[in-house]
A and B are shown apart, each in its own frame.
Chain A
């Protein structure tokens, strides 16, 4: 029973391409998040959606666009990929903005 799932787990692509990462949770949570973990393992919030409404939008390049088609899904689309976008991207979810449960992460490598 996968609680928070992400696809793909690994993504290797070239600079300038557009790619998407998908996230789904089956926990019935109402809030979902995207975090970025850089090469030094530092984790930082990117976006958060509550009931499909964007509630957190950190200082992230507008090449990154989250989309939440419903409460159980939060996708991340990245346009014109750059070398600096290489990182691990984590999706997470929570109920009532409490403790967060994380997906397995997507390791994005831009070459």
Chain B
């Protein structure tokens, strides 16, 4: 069974600064996908970024980037130039290639302060 762990229940950052959210996972699979989802107070689940395990290059989407360390089973999210609208719960999630379920971490509540 796969597990996803987010060890930071809450984090805060000043506007315009950079913050990194941690995620570790456990799996015996070699091919899989990793995701970060954002859930603002509106409750909508929004896909932020995804990473395929077979790709060595870290994924980047504008201000969001990941540090994927396959051997260490680590998948952290870096948010640069934090904005007030980034305030949300962030979930790390895992999916094996041949399956379809997302296994989520416990979430990290990020607050961006003005």
Contacts and interface: CB of A to CB of B under 8 A. Distances in A.
B47, B50, B101, B103 pick with most chain A CB within 10 angstroms: B101
B33 A102 contact: no
A56 interface: yes
Interface residues of B, number: 23
Interface of B: 33, 35, 37, 39, 42-47, 50, 89, 91, 95, 98-104, 106-107
Interface in A13-61: 31, 33, 35, 40-45, 48, 50, 55-56
Q: Closest 10 interchain pairs by CB?
A: A102-B45, A97-B100, A45-B101, A43-B104, A105-B43, A41-B107, A48-B100, A99-B50, A104-B44, A56-B101
Contacts of B104: 42-44
B31 to A, nearest CB: 12
Interface residues of A, number: 26
18 contacts: A31-B100, A33-B100, A41-B39, A41-B106, A42-B107, A44-B104, A45-B102, A48-B100, A90-B45, A97-B99, A97-B100, A99-B50, A100-B47, A100-B102, A102-B44, A102-B45, A102-B46, A104-B44
